[in-house]
Amino acid sequence: MKPEKYKENPSSRKKKRSSNLLFIPVLVILVIGILFYLTSNRQEGSNSVQEAGKKQSGIWEKITRTFSDEYDQLKHALKQNNRQENSKGPSTQDSPQGGEPPAVTQGNQPSDNSQQTAPMAGSEQPASPATDASMPSGTAESPKQAEEKINVFYSHLDAQPYLQSFHLEKPSDVHFTGLIQKLLDNRPVITRETDDLLTIVKNTAHFFRIIGKDNITLLKTILDQEKPYLEDILADYYALSEFPDDLQKNLSLRIPPYALYEYAGFFLNTMGGRLYLFRRDPVTRMTVTYYGILIIDKANRESNNRDGIQIKQAVDSLIADIEGSGNQLRFKERYLDKLYELKEKYQ
């Protein structure tokens, strides 16, 4: 038997465990920062040791700020998630897949051409040969029309001074198709995310890790400058996802199995994905959430919801979000019509 002075107090052991748990996230963030530095810092060396030292110091400051911000936002999201879980009753869960109502038609393509809407009033007009009449409308009736509207949008981008300032080596259609393909080939984790803090951190920095800081800055700039066309482009790309052969043949974009499903689950059902949407403007957040819901609904109808992702709560939340702050949405009524249809389906 140990002498009395060597016995460890239970409260002391508890404090040590708490200390170890606090040390884990700090260690993980440092490891991720080191890996990011080793894999992404491929720029040419400076002409002098002093200049190289300054550059390295700047990189570490950026890494520290990035992961510090992500960690703070992660803690905030954890608190929000815990509050939601505590207030959620058992009635909020979707019914089993076998008990779903019969399949309903998708709402991604309108059946009435009268729902077409002109670009938002006061928006900056394209400084390219593309006119309002030829810009995307989100109402493509065939794969060919969707492809044409997407190509017109990329031609519009190529003519914009703000895009030219990024000095892309390739035309915008080639550059962004490459980014989209890279993201489709490198999906985030959508199940058991909270089992491992490293997985949460990786999901929170998913786009940063896959396409890099410069492309993140580029995409944010486009989202700010081209808001009137965001809904149209997402609608046309979603319409084309129904025709993967045409998408690969004419736009050189290949959709791996379950890729769209996994990104839908990422934005709807993971802390990392919800954090990304939380930081975006309302139009981007609501539109991406809407198409995520449609993708999971399609998986339900085709019995391909392999991870059992639930969308009842997402449908209810998005309806409240659009009705409360969705006046900027060009296709607000179209979204609400479909969402109320899904609300009735999943009640």
Q: Where are the domains of the chain?
A: 140-345
Best CA proximity match to 292, nearest among 281, 303, 305: 305
Contacts of 30 (CB under 8 A, 6+ apart): none
b/e map 257-266, b = 16+ CB within 10 Å: ebbbbbbbbb
What single DSSP character describes residue 109?
S
Alpha helices for 2-94 (secondary structure H): 10-40, 49-87
Assessment of whether the complete model's pTM goes beyond 0.75: no
Position 104 scores a pLDDT of 35
Position 110 scores a pLDDT of 35
Alpha helices for 137-243 (secondary structure H): 143-158, 161-164, 172-185, 197-204, 206-225, 227-240
**Kind and range of the H or E run holding 140:** none
Q: How far apart are CA 117 and CA 128, in angstroms?
A: 21
Position 57 scores a pLDDT of 44
Contacts of 41 (CB under 8 A, 6+ apart): 56, 59
Q: How far apart are CA 99 and CA 207, in angstroms?
A: 36
Position 196 scores a pLDDT of 87
Position 213 scores a pLDDT of 94
Position 33 scores a pLDDT of 54
Position 143 scores a pLDDT of 87
For 2, 3, 11, 146, 242, the CA distances from 15, given in Å and listed in that order, are 21, 22, 6, 60, 55
Position 142 scores a pLDDT of 81
Position 152 scores a pLDDT of 95
| Regions of the chain where pLDDT drops below 70 | 1-141
